[in-house]
Structure 1
Amino acid sequence: MTGIDDLLSMLDVDKTNENEFTGLSITIGSPNVFGGQVLAQSINAAYKSIKNNRVLHSLHAYFLEPGHLEIPIVYKVTEMRNGGSFSTRRVTALQNDKTIFILAASFHKEEEGFEHQMDLKTAVKQPEELLSWEDMLEQMGDFLPGKLKAFLEIERPIDFKPTMIVNPLDKEDLPPLNQVWFRVKGDAKELDLSTKQEILTYISDYNILNATLYPNGSKANFGNMQMASLDHSMWFFRDFDLSDWLLYDMDSPNSFGARGFARGHIYTREGKLVASVAQEGLMRPIKKNR
């Protein structure tokens, strides 16, 4: 995928039966289906069952099995509730009749109410001052570990600019913090809110587990760990513009028992909080054969 049109085509699932849809997969450089893709396709399927203009405000999901890239994913949507203000949907994703993923999503009618938000606690470098993943590959590609270089060589419809470049060769313990600016490639100005939420959900599964690795960077890295998303929750607060840069501000309060917990907040350039994310991931050290 090279731009937003490719991303939108992939995220839009096809209706095959009543409340049943099918989606195809595109690799992001890992051997299994990217969790953000399954999340976003599930939301796309759930939105197709919403007829009263309600807007997604939260989702909670579990990844049960690795997804196979070559097998279509079937999404079955169950209408759990249509109340006076909220509609709830359950989405089950299957491959070869085996459940690989489950999601609950809640949609809310537009209402007025009180407002506040937590602001960013620290000053952040602006994206114009930073290198993108593509810049890093161009400038440092010959010095990067093979797996990292191969990952960065995959064409993506999103630009990422981390505020701090971590050298994996330093093997240094760092604070459990991670900040990444991101923006879609292409014209995103005319997208409706539901489509923007699907794209934001897709992007939210990138980068977040890095914060769980940093405090153990002297011992742990992507080469000696088995890592995978176990669950994913997300809350949507305000509208946003995907054609400008958004900041994903992440931290990890805890890792223990081969699992790491991370959370993130997504802000506009002006500091408006648009969404929050929480995820627990598998962090299993790979044992070497003796």
Structure 2
Amino acid sequence: MQYPLTNAAPTGRPDNGDADLVRFLALERLDRDLFSGMCHRGGTGRAFGGHLAAQALAAAGHTVDADRRVHSLHGYFLRPGELHQPMLYHVERLRDGRSYGARRVTAFQGGEAVFTLSASFKSPEDTADRQRPMPSVPAPEELPDPYPMWARTRPKDFAASVYRRVVSMRVVPRSDRPGPPAPSGVTEYVLWMRAVEPLPDDATLHGCALTYASDLAPGAVAAMAHEEPRMLRSAPDRVFTASLDHSMWFHRPFRADEWLLFVVRSPSESDGRGLATGKVWTREGELAASFAQEVVVRPLPPAS
């Protein structure tokens, strides 16, 4: 991975002032396999899990050869991340084979593990290709920008003030989705997303950007049976959500600064946990990635 890496210590939180995804993913290299970065807050008021996972992947990417691309990652959120101190990312070089390489990253704060990530990288191969076709939905230019509406309904909400600076979204209404509604017991959200600013030509950086974006919807979709979410990553008013784990598989090349179609479904909720799965297609219909996340889903008591 060639971007982004700095020689200066991170200062302040990245949600202060101007921001883009490259700045959000910037790390300071403290040692050969030790990095530092700052995370912005999410809807819960703690460090945003997608930012944490994306920075951990960036740290791993800085330790592999440039010709290798991430093809999968699996992460566990162990503790809430604090906002006012840097996150330390320690990378373990588990394997460097002829075609595949594996890394394990542990994110620390205050001497305690906050997040762990296992990631695998590989050299490209020319092999057989098959995929599930992309759903037929309206183009993003045909859909309204949801941020102004969210800003009107919740003017002080974090999503309208920070996420919109780095990620553009267009939500596909149920009436514009092909085929029958989601089966009984399944909740669904369909939207286009892309980075606001152009990104450098680095495949791992685009993987980090997609990792960041992939954590914007699962919590809201998993809790949708309790209340229709008014915005992504902001839990419904009557439900507490928190990410437990997150997995991704990267299938084909893509650019995160071009429109990508996300189809996110939650097929199960039980035992205080909801499962959300997602597919991501390029605008040309290439299946770029798949992901899965389990989240805590706990209805809150009525406000007194």
Alignment TM-score, normalising by the size of structure 2: 0.83
Report the counterpart of residue 270 of structure 1 in structure 2: 284
Q: Which whole-Å CA distance do the structure 1 matches of 2:228 and 2:141 have between them?
A: 31
Instruction: Give the Cα separation in 2 of the matches to 1:186 and 1:160.
Output: 13
CA distance in 2, matches of 1:52, 1:203: 23
- After superposition, the Cα gap between the structure-2 partners of 1:157 and 1:86, relative to the gap in structure 1 and judged at 3 Å, is same
- Relative distance call for 1:23 and 1:145 in structure 2 (3 A) is closer
Deviation for aligned residue 1:150? 5.0
Aligned-partner SS, 1:156: helix
1:253 aligned counterpart, secondary structure: strand
Q: Could you tell me which of 136, 143, 147 is aligned with 1:123?
A: 136
Residue 223 of structure 1: aligned partner: 237
Residue of structure 2 equivalent to 1:86: 100
Q: Please state if 1:160 is matched with 2:173.
A: no
Match of 1:19 among 33, 40, 59: 33
The 1:262/1:151 distance shift into structure 2, 3 A limit, reads same
Alignment of 1:137-216 (within 5 A): 137=150, 141=152, 144=153, 149=157, 151-154=159-162, 155-164=164-173, 176-188=187-199, 190-216=200-226
SS in 2 for 1:59: strand
* Count of equivalent residues: 276
Task: Tell me which residue corresponds to 2:127.
Answer: 113
Q: How does 1:32-47 map to 2 (within 5 A)?
A: 32-47=46-61
Structure-2 separation of matches of 1:54 and 1:101: 24
CA distance in structure 2 between the aligned counterparts of 1:226 and 1:195, rounded to whole angstroms: 31
**Is the contact made by 2:185 and 2:268 (CA closer than 8 Å) also made in structure 1?**
no
The Cα offsets for residues 226-247 of structure 1, whole Å up to 9 and x where unpaired, read as 1011000000111113332111
1:133 CA drift (Å): 2.6
CA contact (8 A) 1:174 1:214 kept: no
Q: Runs of 5+ in structure 2 lacking a partner? A: 1-14, 176-183, 230-234
SS in 2 for 1:216: coil
What SS does the aligned partner of 1:209 have?
Answer: helix
TM-score (norm 1): 0.86
Over 3 Å counting, the alpha-carbon distance change for 1:187 and 1:5 in structure 2 is farther
Task: Select between 154-163 and 83-92 the one with higher mean Cα deviation.
Answer: 154-163
The answer for the alignment partner of 2:45 in structure 1 is 31
Distance 2:188 2:228 in 1: 16
Contact 1:2–1:156 (8 Å) recurs in 2:
no
DSSP 3-state at the match of 2:59:
helix
Asked whether the equivalents of residues 20 and 196 of structure 2 are also in contact (C-alpha less than 8 Å), the reply is no
Query: Is it true that 1:285 corresponds to 2:296 in the alignment?
Result: no
The one-letter code of the counterpart of 1:95 is Q
| CA offset digits 1:16-69 (Å, max 9, x no partner) | 123111011223454100001111101111011113622110000000000001
Which letter maps to 2:111? D
Partner residue in 1 for 2:3: none
1-side partners of 2:48 and 2:228: how far apart? 27
Q: Does residue 74 of structure 2 align to residue 60 of structure 1? A: yes
Q: Distance in 2 between matches of 1:145 and 1:157?
A: 19
Instruction: Report the equivalent of 1:169.
Output: none
| 1:248 CA displacement | 0.6
Structure 1 residue 93 displacement after superposition? 0.4
Q: For structure 1, which segment, 201-210 or 68-77, has the greater mean C-alpha deviation from structure 2 after superposition? A: 201-210
1:117–1:24 Cα change, 3 Å? same
RMSD between aligned residues: 2.7
Q: Which residue of 1 aligns with 2:146?
A: 133
Identify if the C-alpha distance between structure 1 residues 257 and 243 changes in structure 2 by more than 3 Å, giving closer, same or farther.
same
Conservation of the 8 A alpha-carbon contact between 1:56 and 1:106: yes
